Each structure stands twice: as structure tokens, then as C-alpha cells.
Amino acid sequence: MKAKMAMVETPNVYCLISGAAEGNTPLNAFDNTLLEAGVGDTNLMRMSSICPPGAQEVTRDEIVLPAGGLIPLAYAHIDSQTPQMWIASAIAVGIPEDPTLPGVIMEFEDHTRLEYVETIVKQMVIDAFEYRKRTLKEIKFAGVEHQVKKCGATFAAAVLWYK
């Protein structure tokens, strides 16, 4: 008897989230950014950077993520233990003019201010659309910066979900 294989349903919504926090260790700081972003009690499944065709943007409050659930997302993350250093993470989603085509999600992080990280991640989206020879309708963006006190981290993500 053959076992049936289940296909994973393609997400039809996405939401952009971010968080910045301190912790006693880099892992604690990262965990605290996840809590701040609203995904701290889930298991993250890092995905490559494609937004499904026709996926709609929703707010974090519009989706119910199950505690302990496997949550697909594309994300940027950085941490530092250098006091006074600025760190930033950003996510950008390129929406195509043609809704039957997939969008592109780009993520970027650096030891710098958010303004620079935002410029880079948005240019990454523009480049990805040029490489694909697709017309870009708009760019959705979320990012966060943090000045480290002891051990800080930042996190920005596009959560892909089903509604």
C-alpha cells in the first residue's frame, strides 16, 4: 500500500513584521525580537524569497498563528554585542503589475542605520524584477533599527500564511 503524500498549500496572504530587543546573549536577544514581532511562540521555517501570485498583504492581527506551529517566512536578522553600535534589519516585497506572476521578497541586515538598509533592500527588489523582466507595481517594506546597549538584535520578516 502506497502512503499518500500531502502537498503544502500555497500561502495566499503575507504580513510584514519586525522587532528589536536586548538580551543577555545573542540568542536571547533574537528570541526577544521574535516576541516583539509577534512570532516568538512559533517555529520559524525560513523560506526562499518568493511571494505567491495574488497573495494579499494583511496585518499581523488578521492571522492566527498557532503556538508551536510551523510558520513559513523570509527574514533578516542581525545581532551585536558592541555597545552603542547601530544595527538594522529590513524586508521588502515587490508586487508585480501582473497578479498572476509571483512577487519577490528580499531581506537585508547590517551594522548600520535603517535608512541605508532600506535603500539596499528596495534596490534588491528592483534588481530582482529587472532580472526577471517583470514590471514592478509597488514595493512593500518593513524594517527596524536598534542601538545596542549590551546585546541587541533586530528582525524583519514576511510571514507567508493561509487565510
Residue 89 appears among annotated catalytic residues = no
CATH number at 14-60+70-161: 3.50.20.10
- Where do the domains of the chain lie? 14-60+70-161
Residue 18 appears among annotated catalytic residues = no
Q: What is the mean pLDDT of each run of 10 residues along the chain (163 residues)?
A: 64 97 98 98 94 96 93 97 98 98 98 98 98 98 98 98 90
As a whole number of angstroms, the distance between CA 50 and CA 154 comes to 22
Residue 48 appears among annotated catalytic residues = yes
Residue 107 appears among annotated catalytic residues = yes
Burial class from Cβ neighbours inside 10 Å (0-12, 13-18, 19+) for residue 14 reads buried
